[in-house]
Amino acid sequence: MSQLLAAASTLDSWVHRSGNRWLLADDNGQRVIAFTSFLSADIRADGQVVSAPVEEGSFASYNKTNGPLEIHVTLGIQGDDAALQEALDTLTTLQGGTQLVSLVTPNAEYPDLNLESFNYSRKRENGLGVLFVELSLVEVKQVRAQYTNAAVAPRRERGKVQAKPVSAAAGLKSWITG
């Protein structure tokens, strides 16, 4: 696997020279975690068409909702014990908090992602100075509430209303003022 890391590192250095950067960045565009190699990215965009039953056992589809992006990234991090511990501390802080990050790839930028979970491995075969980290990122949809000052129409009675019983004195007064 360390040969894979070396090949990925060579590819990563070529990618950096060509100006296409793979980056996990904060809202200021600064690198959140320093990694040696970007090994893979799996991106899932999901949506659902809403259907409802109508007459005679058929269905009508009338709307579609888009779910948040789910992104799984595998990184290779190489360094001494202090650098690896710093990377793990940063990941633990991101996973426990609500900070949003962006994943920048040569094809697209995926903003407003939160680190939902991560796992890592260190293996003797790869050298103890290498971490392989798998990140699970989920998009946080940013919405802005929009309010209007709608005037509420006064309540009006509609339809037939049951007559209310009237006392003799009220009926006589109504007849006189007539």
pLDDT 10s digits, 3-31: 444 444 444 444 444 344 789 999 898 99
- What mean pLDDT do residues 114-137 have? 90
Q: Strand, coil or helix: what is 94?
A: helix
Closest C-alpha among 83, 175, 64, 66 to residue 129 = 83
pLDDT class of 174 with cuts at 50, 70, 90: confident
pLDDT class of 43 with cuts at 50, 70, 90: very high
The pLDDT of residue 130 is above 50: yes
Q: How far apart are CA 98 and CA 112, in angstroms?
A: 10
Residue with tokens 């200021």, as numbered in its chain: 28
**pTM confidence score:** 0.66
* CB atoms near residue 38 (< 10 Å): 21
